[in-house]
Amino acid sequence: MRILVVEDDQAIAEPLVVGLRREGFEVSAVRTGEEALAAPPADLVLLDLGLPDGHGFEVCRQLRARSAVPIIIVTARDDEIDRVAGLELGADDYVVKPFGFRELVARIRAVGRRVAAPAPAAGPQQIGELRIDRRSHRVHLGDEELALTPKEFDLLSLLATDPGAMVTRREILAEVWDPHWYGTSKTVDVHIASLRRKLGHPEWIETSRGVGFRLSIPR
């Protein structure tokens, strides 16, 4: 993923660029709105609002007017009116400084995954004996239909998007609950435990301690 960082404060921009590159992203950085609008196309934009040559909201508006590039506003402004204005102008998420780097990475990946997600298949997804029908919100294991809660279905559906791939707790919270979830991440463990019981075999969902979970077919 190519990320454009629009941030005039070098004390923030430089470590952010270094950290994102360590996470495997291709990153470029600019300091002004004019540079942001002239930059080569990116896959996602991290946009500060306090820019030296104008308001970040105007940059957001112009970026959105000409492309569907995902935009995450990263700013010290935490007023509700600013959050609402940013989202209404087309931003995909709004992160308030100071922020946790791991949380920001989780939000970047969550937004990127939502944008890149393919259209739902016409038929159910089959993974071993597990069959997930996203159109009808029904799950079967063999011939048995599983009685899942809406959150359990969304959680299973997320893990099944890329079977075998690790999904972090932060990514799960951002996509299944809310990008601005401030509750405990333990709620993920509770739902995972319930989902495992209903699937009838703990190996359907593997845990990587301190990282997250992946969906796999029991041996």
Q: In what order do the strands lie in the sheet with 26-30?
A: 26-30, 2-6, 44-47, 71-75, 93-96
How would residue 116 be classed by pLDDT, with cut points 50, 70 and 90? low
How would residue 174 be classed by pLDDT, with cut points 50, 70 and 90? confident
CA atoms within 13 A on the CB side of 63: 34
The domain ranges of the chain are: 2-116, 125-215
Average pLDDT value for the chain: 87
Please state, as a whole number, how many other Cβ atoms lie within 10 Å of the Cβ of residue 37. Answer: 14
Pair of tokens at residue 157: 């559906």
How would residue 86 be classed by pLDDT, with cut points 50, 70 and 90? confident
C-beta of residue 72 within 8 angstroms of C-beta of residue 45: yes
What pLDDT, on a 0 to 100 scale, did the predictor assign at position 55?
86
Tell me which of 56 and 177 has the higher pLDDT.
56
The CATH number that domain 2-116 falls under is: 3.40.50.2300
What pLDDT, on a 0 to 100 scale, did the predictor assign at position 199?
95
What pLDDT, on a 0 to 100 scale, did the predictor assign at position 189?
86
Percent of the chain with pLDDT over 90: 49
pTM value is 0.59
CATH class, domain 125-215, is mainly alpha
What pLDDT, on a 0 to 100 scale, did the predictor assign at position 21?
95
* pLDDT > 80? residue 24: yes
How would residue 121 be classed by pLDDT, with cut points 50, 70 and 90? low
What pLDDT, on a 0 to 100 scale, did the predictor assign at position 129?
94
Across 33-47, 73-87, 168-182, the highest mean pLDDT is recorded for: 33-47
Specify the long-range contacts of residues 186-194, CB closer than 8 Å, at least 24 apart.
188/155, 188/213, 191/151, 191/152, 191/155, 192/155, 194/149, 194/152
Instruction: Please report, to the nearest 10 degrees, the dihedral formed by the alpha carbons of residues 195, 197, 199, 200 taken in order.
Output: 170
